[in-house]
Amino acid sequence: MHISEGVLSAEVLVSGAALAAGGTAVGLKKLDMDKMPRVALMTAAFFVASLVHVPIGPSSVHLVLSGLMGLVLGWASFPAILIGLMLQALLFQFGGLTVLGVNTVNMALPAVIVYFLFNRLLKKEGKVLSAVAAGLSGAMALLLASLFTAFSLVFSGEEFVTIAKVIVVAHLPVMVVEAVVNVFIVMLLKKVKPEILEVPYAVAQKA
């Protein structure tokens, strides 16, 4: 999902940087200090999960965990993913600093979207509803991230239309993996650490 440097147009880079700055500002404003350990944990999980990637043209395929980050962090997904991507760019040359804004938006915006779509469903009683919310959030977040990445390339030049389509198709099987991983982690958290998901203990015990 990392777009390499020297690929995107100036307009896309500027727009991505502006949106990333706005999303990060909102995320920091809504972030309570007592949630900082949670943000650090999710940043580390994102950092490790997205290190293993398969290059596809100017982008790559890998786990993102943005659906899980969205459910846990909400708007704080923006600063969490920004930090993770910055560290990857500086330490491993994945992506790059000039495309940091675009890559952040492509992964963090889907996280925020699934937070608003599935957060309340996740907190309802019952294992089935929780599993459905977790699975859909994982798959949808990756689908949106791949579409946003594809649009970033297409808006930078018609020569990227084919590779943009390939990126979306290549992520389809990864969406299934993300959904399964999301269900496993969310159900585990509801049992042993429900406060991370802001789920009442009583609900977690009945789930």
For the chain, list the domains and their CATH numbers: 10-206 (1.10.1760.20)
pLDDT at 54: 65
pLDDT at 205: 47
Q: Residue 93: which pLDDT band, with cuts at 50, 70 and 90?
A: confident
Query: What pLDDT, in 10s, does the model give residues 165-194?
Result: 988 888 888 888 889 999 999 988 888 888
pLDDT at 85: 92
pLDDT at 61 over 70: no
pLDDT at 21: 96
Average confidence (pLDDT) over 69-73: 92
Average confidence (pLDDT) over 26-32: 91
pLDDT at 206 over 60: no
DSSP element (H, E) containing 60:
strand 59-62
Say how far apart CA 120 and CA 151 lie, in whole Å.
Answer: 29
Extract the tokens encoding 6: 């020297």
pLDDT at 9 over 50: yes
Q: Is 60 left (phi over 0), alpha (psi -120 to 50) or beta?
A: beta
Query: What pLDDT, in 10s, does the model give residues 94-149?
Result: 778 999 999 999 999 999 999 999 988 887 777 888 899 999 999 999 999 999 99
pLDDT at 59: 59
pLDDT at 91 over 80: yes
Say how far apart CA 96 and CA 117 lie, in whole Å.
Answer: 31
Extract the tokens encoding 183: 């269900």
Closest CA to 16 of 105, 81, 113: 105
Residue 181: strand, helix, or coil: helix
